[in-house]
C-alpha cells in the first residue's frame, strides 16, 4: 500500500475493494474488452456487495465526465507548453487520441471512485 491504512487512494489507484483494500473490484483488467470494466458482484476478500441498487454505477458517469474534462485541460496545457502556440486542430486531435487510449481506464477509475464515495475502509472487514 502506498498511503496509510484507510486512505481511499489505496483502493482507487490499484482498483481494489473500497472496504478491505484487498479484493479485486473488476472482473478483468480495464483493457480486456470482453468484460469491459464489469464490476464484480461481491468482494472475494471481505464479502462486500459492490452494488447498493440496480444501475448503481450510472452515477459514475458524472465522475467519468469530470475525469475526462480534467484530462482535456491537461492535454491543452501540455500542448500549449510544448508548442508555445494554440492550434485548435492539433489540440483537438491530441485530445481525441488521449481520450481514446485512456477511455477504458477512465471508465474503471470512475467506477471505483464512485464506489469509494459510498463505501469506507473497515479494518475488521476481512474474512477470517
What integer is the mean pLDDT of 69-92? 91
128 pLDDT higher than 60: no
Give the three-state DSSP class for 50: coil
Nearest of 126, 122, 121, 115 to residue 52 by alpha carbon = 115
What are the C-alpha distances in Å from 75 to residues 99, 109, 128? Answer: 10, 18, 46
Question: Strand, helix or coil at 90?
Answer: helix
pLDDT for position 95: 94
Beta-strand ranges (E) seen in the chain are none
Among the listed ranges 52-56, 60-64, 96-100, 112-116, which one has the minimum average pLDDT value? 52-56
Q: What is the pTM of this model?
A: 0.86
Over residues 19-36, the pLDDT tens digits come to 998 999 999 888 888 877
Q: Which of 25, 27, 73 is nearest to 49 (CA)?
A: 25
- The alpha-helical segments, DSSP class H, found in 1-87 are 9-12, 60-83
- Separation CA 44–CA 54 (nearest Å): 20
Amino acid at each position: 500500500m502506498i498511503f496509510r491504512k484507510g486512505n481511499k487512494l489505496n483502493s482507487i489507484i490499484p482498483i481494489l475493494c473500497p472496504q478491505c483494500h484487498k479484493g479485486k473490484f473488476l472482473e478483468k483488467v480495464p483493457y480486456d474488452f470482453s468484460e469491459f470494466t464489469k464490476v464484480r458482484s461481491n468482494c472475494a476478500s471481505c464479502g462486500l456487495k459492490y452494488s447498493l441498487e440496480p444501475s448503481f454505477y450510472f452515477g459514475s458517469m458524472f465522475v467519468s465526465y469530470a475525469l475526462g474534462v480534467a484530462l482535456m485541460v491537461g492535454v491543452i496545457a501540455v500542448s500549449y507548453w510544448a508548442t508555445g502556440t494554440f492550434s485548435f486542430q492539433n489540440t483537438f486531435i491530441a485530445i481525441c487520441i488521449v481520450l481514446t487510449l485512456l477511455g477504458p481506464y477512465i471508465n474503471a477509475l470512475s467506477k471505483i471512485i464512485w464506489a469509494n464515495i459510498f463505501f469506507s475502509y473497515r479494518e475488521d472487514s476481512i474474512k477470517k
